[in-house]
Structure 1
Amino acid sequence: MLDKYLLFTPGPVNVAASLRHAICKADICHREPDFDGLLARIEQKLLTLFEIKKRNRYRAVVITGSGTAANEAILSSVVGDGAILILSNGEFGERLHKTSIIHNKHTHLIQQPWGTPFDPDQIAAYLATHRIDVVAMVHHETCSGMLNPLAAIGALTKAHGAIFVVDGVSSVGAEVVDMEGCNIAFCSSSSSKAIGSYPGLSFVIGRKKQFKKLKLHAAKTTYLNLATFYGFLKQHSQTPNTPAVPLFLALEQALTNILSDGVTNRFARIRARADQLRLGMRKLNLEFVLDEADMCAILTTVKVPPSILVRDLRDRLREKSIIIYEGKGCFAGKVFQVGNIGELSDRDIQFFLSTLRDVLLELQAEAADVVAPIRPKAINPTIPALTEPMLATLSS
């Protein structure tokens, strides 16, 4: 056992030591100038993270709540009496749809199986034959690791006069989100994933002109009314409700760390970690659910080898202080997921790969013993024994 867990997950993540210091700074009141300045600095750093060129056209509100809170704030606030089209090809697209139908009676859905790319022609045809005011999509579908195309869908929404809202909860901080170039009106994200801070905060970044239009819609929620958040930000540089102040301090530090490294360098470092992990897992003869061209930089979804149960793999790795995700929904029992964000070093990645190899060998050997303890020449067609080529590959 190590002295800490290594979180090879898409969030929460291992945080930098500087965040542990930041979260313990002196107490401040959220209705005092100290917090006003803190929120203003966070907003400016978020605009820099997004590399927005015309910064005066955008604002960012910060919400005490997970990424789902930011998504519900958008979905309950921007549609009004209009129609919204949800694009779903995974668990979090389905969550957008479930949230939208609570708040919007004119909710439409185009759904693909988990891990299946969208068909732009299908979406274009739907927009041509239905009056749609808002289109919503998840950028990175964590359930599969698929990165959905912002530019293509943004162009379609613009051509059909709809606004485009994006769930960037698990992609912001690791992937480019071009708000200006992709016609994105609002984008959500959270503190605890690729940005690398603690869980508990989310934010919505959007165009000022779209924020201003929110007051035309009747409020559908109290806490998550995006118009109220924007009003307090604009008038007071504050939040409408009591915020989790220590988490704001940590978020500012996380953004400072990213900008000190440089946004491009940060993205490249995360991508290099993903490449390192994927190369190592391919050397173990492991297969991935998606083509690498479709994957986000933060996560790899891996097929479980025959004869191994995901739960056993997860438990054995946990005994070695390594935390991974199991597959959900249609992927349950079939895959495991390996994240590569947060404070993970090259040494941590090598430790993960060598430990994964050892655990796979153990589980394969145990399965082989169970299959044929008395008659070793007998072959069970459903659970292959550990062959010499497999041993040689896993040991290399």
Structure 2
Amino acid sequence: MDKYLLFTPGPVNVAETLRKAISKKDICHREPDFDVLLASIEHKLLSLFQIRNRDRYRAVVITGSGTAANEAVLSSVVGRGSILILSNGEFGERLYKTSLLHNKRTHLIDVPWGSVIDLAQLDAFLASHKIDVVAMAHHETCSGMLNPLAEVGTLAKAHGAIFVVDGVSSVGAEHVDMETCNIAFCTGSSSKAIGSYPGLSFVIGRKKQFNRLASHKAKTTYLNLATFYDFLRTSSQTPNTPAVPLFFALEQALSNILREGVNNRFARIRVRADQLREGMRKLNLDFLIAEKDMCSVLTTVRVPASVTVRDVRERLREKSIIIYEGKGCFAGKVFQVGNIGELSREDIWFFLASLKDVLLTLQAEAADLVAPIRRANTNLVMLEPQKAALAKARI
């Protein structure tokens, strides 16, 4: 094959239209051309989120990965208040570590990786602590768990807290209803389910919450969310030099989604996930978590006992297929198969056929190591008593 097939949660294979978009003519980011480009991206982001009261929301775009958007939020929205992080995996832990750097009053509800968030525990904690902000990763990529937005948002609102969501690996594949779920700010990334190149992230938030940021003391320079919003509001600009070619690509990726239809896009990604899961079940593979709890972005698969994750990954790479290995407590136990980006039905079939071939080959090799197959022409060596017995029998 002349390219890698990226069966990962990001980065992804991009559409040909994005390859053309990223090569558009050079423009200066302080000219009207960029103002128009940024306004177009903001309009399309609000459409992607299917926001009904559009005049109440704005979207800022940051040159930096999804982690940059998360840090911009966590360093900007808490002020002198307190924040509670909900964690059931690697990216919940990252939110907690990031918040600790910027906010002295950072609290944590931590459950084992791959476990469901305990809503009763959350309710009890909010009832007994003064919390101003609740933050959570929507899709916990390390396990594939999709965490509950509506339930957490309702509890946060009931206890007087605003709700912040890390949507980096879910936005573009799962509906995030900011209005119904009482979400004040949601982050996202260009390079995952939206299907563009890495390097851009964004924060969508309520105007009234953006306006409140000005009263908080800045804790960073580059990632001060109040500054981003002020430049957007007053001049349709970014405070720092943006990666302009990536903005062209993001605008094109969003155009592709809106042309297809947001709900159609979500459905197509879900169908891909279902096809992969059905195919892997037929290979007698088990999944880490229940399918009802999975995001449509990826599937986390338990590796069979007779093979190693590293071998599966390396053999698939030889066939130009890239997958993820498990991390943390899942290292060596699972591999992850993404289904976003430009992957066709034929690519899905090729992956499943390749995975079957790799597993059968590795299992056969493992069996040979346990019980080596003797070659048919092996010479047998007779012991002396055996030779004597054979000679006597011939007499």
Q: TM-score range by the shorter chain?
A: over 0.9
Aligned to 1:328: 327
Q: Alpha-carbon deviation of 1:98?
A: 0.2
Aligned to 2:245: 246
Aligned to 1:188: 187
CA–CA distance in structure 1, aligned partners of residues 305 and 130 of structure 2: 48
Please tell me the residue identity of whatever aligns with 1:351: F
Aligned to 2:313: 314
Q: Alpha-carbon deviation of 1:375?
A: 8.3
1:144-183 equivalences under 5 Å are 144-183=143-182
Q: Alpha-carbon deviation of 1:374?
A: 5.7
Q: 5+ residue gaps in structure 2?
A: 376-395
CA–CA distance in structure 2, aligned partners of residues 366 and 375 of structure 1: 14
Q: Secondary structure of 1:100's partner?
A: helix
TM-score relative to the length of structure 2: 0.94
Aligned to 1:66: 65
1:116-158 CA-to-partner distances (Å, cap 9, x unmatched) read: 0011110000000000000000000000000000000000000
Please tell me the residue identity of whatever aligns with 2:283: L
Please tell me the residue identity of whatever aligns with 2:300: T
Aligned to 1:204: 203
Structure 1 segments of 4+ aligned residues over 6 angstroms from their partners: none
Please tell me the residue identity of whatever aligns with 2:313: R
Identity %: 79
Q: Alpha-carbon deviation of 1:372?
A: 1.0
CA–CA distance in structure 2, aligned partners of residues 345 and 302 of structure 1: 21
- Structure whose CA Rg is larger: 2
CA–CA distance in structure 2, aligned partners of residues 181 and 375 of structure 1: 67
CA–CA distance in structure 1, aligned partners of residues 298 and 45 of structure 2: 23
CA–CA distance in structure 2, aligned partners of residues 357 and 219 of structure 1: 53
Q: Alpha-carbon deviation of 1:342?
A: 0.1
Q: Secondary structure of 2:131's partner?
A: coil
CA–CA distance in structure 1, aligned partners of residues 151 and 344 of structure 2: 35
Please tell me the residue identity of whatever aligns with 1:70: A
Q: Secondary structure of 1:137's partner?
A: strand
CA–CA distance in structure 2, aligned partners of residues 375 and 154 of structure 1: 64
Please tell me the residue identity of whatever aligns with 1:337: Q
CA–CA distance in structure 2, aligned partners of residues 370 and 326 of structure 1: 24
Pair 1:259 & 2:255 matched: no
CA–CA distance in structure 2, aligned partners of residues 213 and 375 of structure 1: 76
Aligned to 1:387: none
Q: Secondary structure of 2:184's partner?
A: strand
Q: Secondary structure of 1:86's partner?
A: strand
Please tell me the residue identity of whatever aligns with 2:264: N
TM-score relative to the length of structure 1: 0.94
Q: Secondary structure of 1:212's partner?
A: helix
CA–CA distance in structure 2, aligned partners of residues 312 and 286 of structure 1: 16
1:61-140 equivalences under 5 Å are 61-140=60-139
Please tell me the residue identity of whatever aligns with 2:227: T
1:80-109 CA-to-partner distances (Å, cap 9, x unmatched) read: 000000000000000000000000000000
Q: Secondary structure of 1:117's partner?
A: coil
Please tell me the residue identity of whatever aligns with 2:288: V
Pair 1:54 & 2:53 matched: yes
CA–CA distance in structure 2, aligned partners of residues 362 and 238 of structure 1: 55
**Residues matched between the structures, number:** 375
Q: Secondary structure of 2:61's partner?
A: strand
Please tell me the residue identity of whatever aligns with 2:209: Q
CA–CA distance in structure 2, aligned partners of residues 331 and 57 of structure 1: 41
Q: Secondary structure of 1:188's partner?
A: strand
Q: Secondary structure of 2:177's partner?
A: coil
CA–CA distance in structure 1, aligned partners of residues 5 and 60 of structure 2: 31
Please tell me the residue identity of whatever aligns with 2:103: N
Pair 1:40 & 2:39 matched: yes
Aligned to 1:30: 29
1:337-376 CA-to-partner distances (Å, cap 9, x unmatched) read: 0000000000000000000000000000000000111689
Q: Secondary structure of 1:280's partner?
A: helix
CA–CA distance in structure 1, aligned partners of residues 292 and 373 of structure 2: 46
